[in-house]
Structure 1
Amino acid sequence: MKGKKHQRQSTTQGHNGNGNSQRHGEYESRKKQKLVQIHQALNSDPVEIDILRSAAVSEGGLLTDEIRRKVWPKLLSVNVYNLPAKPTKDVRENHRDLNQVLLDVRRSMKRFPKGMRSDERQVLQEQLVDIILVVLQKNPALHYYQGYHDIVVTFLLVAGERLAIAMVETLSNHHLRDFMDPTMDSTKHILNYLMPILEEVDPELHTFMLRSEVGTIFALSWLITWYGHVLSEFRHVLRLYDFFLASHPLMPIYFAAVIVLHREKEVKRTECDMAMVHHLLSQIPQDLPYEDLIIRAQDLFSRYPPSLLAKRAALQSRKSVTINCFKDFQVKTRLQRPDSVLRRQLHRGRDTGGPGSQLSRGTAPNQATNQLVKMAVWGISATLGAAALAVAQTAMDWAPEFLMQLF
């Protein structure tokens, strides 16, 4: 009898093992198919931006940092052959935000890989400061906010300094534009979309949260850092950045809504008190089912688009720069040349000195060494994919000075 029992257990384990192997094989097959689709989309003329967006949103996102360094610029319509110059020392001279940026970056040690030598981390922190100051210097209408550095550091770790400058500048003038106003009014307006979404999906949960008077402040650090500040696993941050870069600028608030909806039972079991509910919601779980939540956020966006919720979200009449300019931004991303064409034009221009030196979106870098430097930076940054990020305990613990601006 014991022998038969043992045999049955072994057979069961074998089936489970085969099932796992089959699922792994299916995943690897889908991964290879996605890689082929991304490669073809990048080399189409014009670039097939819709396929790249679909790849970024679908299960697993863009898979590797190497792919992100190719696709993220396309999602942001950034020409990697016409990158800004490396920042010079004078960028820090008399900059209005220098002291605050330095303070925030010095507090960002946990955003860098565990075990990194302190001198290496310090180099990256100096680059982080310079990227932020360069973008702000080039765009005087943009105003720094606490938490901005949490977004910028993600691009630095993935793409290196010069490519990060180009992508962050575009991102700041589009997806993040409302957060970079001189006042918090536009940010509060974006946060105001959260409750109408909850009301549409779960009126009982919505009523509970209204009774508790918890408001939406618990989601502030989620929204303005694209969750970079509150998630401890860098791979989860990257997965969300893939998703957000390929989506409407309001998608981060829809994702906030699905997190709250995912925790609906926990919320309703909590005492209906502002402090208690705020404390619960501000402790974002680290084991969220990200792929399921991404699918649900997409579904909610389709069922309850921003246009449907705009009147309820607006406590006062205002126009969102981020939302209003998004359609034009989408059109712009469809007009990009593939990197293979840009590369040929770059080399032709170097060989002849003629019109071929003019790229489709600007002139080629003057020195051939710029390309080598860029590749070296990318090679170094590719080793940084395992960074562990800080976990915010509560929104008030995170940035009390910033939060006070809301009141």
Structure 2
Amino acid sequence: MKRLKKKKQNAALGECRNESVTKEQDCGRKQKLAEIHRALISDPVDVEALRRAAAGKGGLLTDEVRRKVWPKLLNINVYKLPRKPGRDVRKNHKDYNQVVLDVRRSMRRFPQGMPATERGVLQEQLIDIILEVLQRNPRLYYYQGYHDVAVSLLLVVGERMAIAVLDTLSRFHLRDFMDPTMDSTKHILNYLMPILEQVDPELHDFMIRAEVGTIFALSWLITWFGHVLSEFKHTLRLYDFFLASHPLMPIYLAATIVLRRETEVKQTECDMAMVHHLLSRIPQDLPYELLIGHAQDLFEQYPPSLLARRAALQSHKSLSISTFPAFQLSTLHQRPDSVLQRLTRSHGAAASRHGLEAALSRGQLWGKGNRLVKMAVWGLSATLGAAVFTVAQTAMDWGPEVLLQLF
């Protein structure tokens, strides 16, 4: 009886502890959401706070929050998103066939159990997104793995915003991977070994003797780990982190993964094929929060400028690295969405009013000098915004009496 009683007491204590942890987590989650909300409604938007939230424990928590924060991290006005691309021109793009092949092979990147028809629609959108961004940036070259980034964006933010996000990433964070040759990509990979050398010279020397190189981390880098992680939630956690960080942060994270597997690596036969085989198979149970924190620490201790000097990496000019400071500064002067929406509506109303005024001045609306009609149109435009333009145009076809009845 005593044993049974003790068991029940221990179980009760365990439940209390679990409940306490759950409450603490819930409280922390609510506090973080409140901080993100405050940062979003600040004028200008507190982008630094958003970066801290995205990189900090748990990342941005939900897709709904990501849809609000990701554009701010990239200085994207969600009220000026690109129009959906027309499909009549995409087949003429030089990369069309390769993009289609890669997208068709991307079935595992979509949620399990998704109906084939729905997945088919998303795959068509994915092709459109990629080709639209490439058409906008003719100097950028498609690479295999680019679609892994695009599909992660599509599944979170939808087609139109995915175009804007991918376009910005392609011109900044992913820029080095989109050259006509692999030289810039190899340059970024070359930062990996100097990081290992600074932290664990013994591991570094072992990998040098094995002549394993850094190609095992290529897919990690160019897809932001999207191609190698089986759980989408882990991919999104890393995307939060990378969107808020320096373009080289993925290589720092790659270094933390290799360092975590130090014992495994050293116990492997010092042979290129054996070590490459081990490292290229990324574990699926990694402690991501721990690794993200470690990557941030490594970045602060061994910044890219220091590594470049010590490893003679300065001879190659990285566009991602060189353009990042200016890009980061450009994100600090954004207006909150409520203001952008109001400005967009005002701009639309002004455009509608000017169009109507021009038509009136040309005498196209029921004769010149009809001051009453002009005043009616101005009033409607200012009050209802751009949407009224369509209503007013329809009313004009019927005559001024119909327009006046709208008041």
Asked if the contact 1:105/1:149 (under 8 Å) is kept, the reply is yes
Residues 296 and 356 (structure 1 numbering): CA distance in 2 closer, same or farther, change over 3 Å? farther
Q: How does 1:230-379 map to 2 (within 5 A)?
A: 230-314=228-312, 317-353=315-351
Rounded to whole Å, the distance in 2 between the matches of 1:14 and 1:260 is 41
Rounded to whole Å, the distance in 2 between the matches of 1:134 and 1:44 is 33
Please list the CA deviations of residues 297-326 of structure 1 after superposition, one character each: whole Å capped at 9, or x if unmatched.
Answer: 000000000001013445671110000000
Asked if the contact 1:189/1:314 (under 8 Å) is kept, the reply is no
Residues 42 and 355 (structure 1 numbering): CA distance in 2 closer, same or farther, change over 3 Å? farther
In the TM superposition, residue 93 of structure 1 has moved relative to its aligned partner by 3.5
Residues 367 and 150 (structure 1 numbering): CA distance in 2 closer, same or farther, change over 3 Å? farther
Asked if the contact 1:251/1:301 (under 8 Å) is kept, the reply is yes
In the TM superposition, residue 55 of structure 1 has moved relative to its aligned partner by 0.5
Q: Which amino acid aligns with 2:19?
A: S
Q: Which amino acid aligns with 1:223?
A: L
Asked if the contact 1:142/1:181 (under 8 Å) is kept, the reply is yes
Hey, what does 1:104 align to over in structure 2? 102
Hey, what does 1:10 align to over in structure 2? 8
Hey, what does 1:184 align to over in structure 2? 182
Rounded to whole Å, the distance in 1 between the matches of 2:266 and 2:313 is 26
In the TM superposition, residue 131 of structure 1 has moved relative to its aligned partner by 0.5
Q: Which amino acid aligns with 1:302?
A: E
**CA-atom RMSD, angstroms?**
1.9
Rounded to whole Å, the distance in 1 between the matches of 2:238 and 2:283 is 15
Q: Please, which runs of 5 or more residues in structure 2 have no aligned partner?
A: 356-384, 389-407
- How many residues end up aligned between the 2 structures? 359
Q: Which amino acid aligns with 1:129?
A: I
Q: 2:157 aligned to 149, 156, 159, which one?
A: 159
Bigger relative contact order (CA 8 A; separation at least 6): 1
Rounded to whole Å, the distance in 2 between the matches of 1:182 and 1:171 is 17
Hey, what does 1:133 align to over in structure 2? 131
Give the TM-score, by structure 1 length: 0.85
Percentage of matched positions with identical amino acids = 67
Residues 186 and 314 (structure 1 numbering): CA distance in 2 closer, same or farther, change over 3 Å? farther
Rounded to whole Å, the distance in 2 between the matches of 1:356 and 1:267 is 69
Who wins on radius of gyration, i.e. which is larger? 2
Judge which range, 9-18 or 222-231, deviates more. Answer: 9-18
Asked if the contact 1:218/1:282 (under 8 Å) is kept, the reply is yes
Rounded to whole Å, the distance in 1 between the matches of 2:346 and 2:250 is 42
Hey, what does 2:111 align to over in structure 1? 113
Q: Please, which runs of 5 or more residues in structure 1 have no aligned partner?
A: 358-365, 370-407
Please list the CA deviations of residues 89-145 of structure 1 after superposition, one character each: whole Å capped at 9, or x if unmatched.
Answer: 233142010011011001101111111111111110011011000101010111000
Asked if the contact 1:198/1:257 (under 8 Å) is kept, the reply is yes
Please list the CA deviations of residues 254-293 of structure 1 after superposition, one character each: whole Å capped at 9, or x if unmatched.
Answer: 0000000111111111111111110010110000000000
Hey, what does 1:82 align to over in structure 2? 80
Q: Which amino acid aligns with 1:91?
A: V
Secondary structure, aligned partner of 2:89: helix
Q: Which amino acid aligns with 2:190?
A: N
Asked if the contact 1:244/1:252 (under 8 Å) is kept, the reply is yes
Hey, what does 1:40 align to over in structure 2? 38
In the TM superposition, residue 355 of structure 1 has moved relative to its aligned partner by 9.7
Q: Which amino acid aligns with 1:65?
A: D
Please list the CA deviations of residues 40-64 of structure 1 after superposition, one character each: whole Å capped at 9, or x if unmatched.
Answer: 1111110000000000011110000
Rounded to whole Å, the distance in 2 between the matches of 1:51 and 1:356 is 40
Give the TM-score, by structure 2 length: 0.85
In the TM superposition, residue 343 of structure 1 has moved relative to its aligned partner by 1.2
Q: Which amino acid aligns with 2:83?
A: A
Residues 368 and 103 (structure 1 numbering): CA distance in 2 closer, same or farther, change over 3 Å? farther
Q: Which amino acid aligns with 1:28?
A: D
Asked if the contact 2:345/2:386 (under 8 Å) is kept, the reply is no
Secondary structure, aligned partner of 2:33: helix
Hey, what does 1:72 align to over in structure 2? 70
Rounded to whole Å, the distance in 1 between the matches of 2:386 and 2:156 is 24
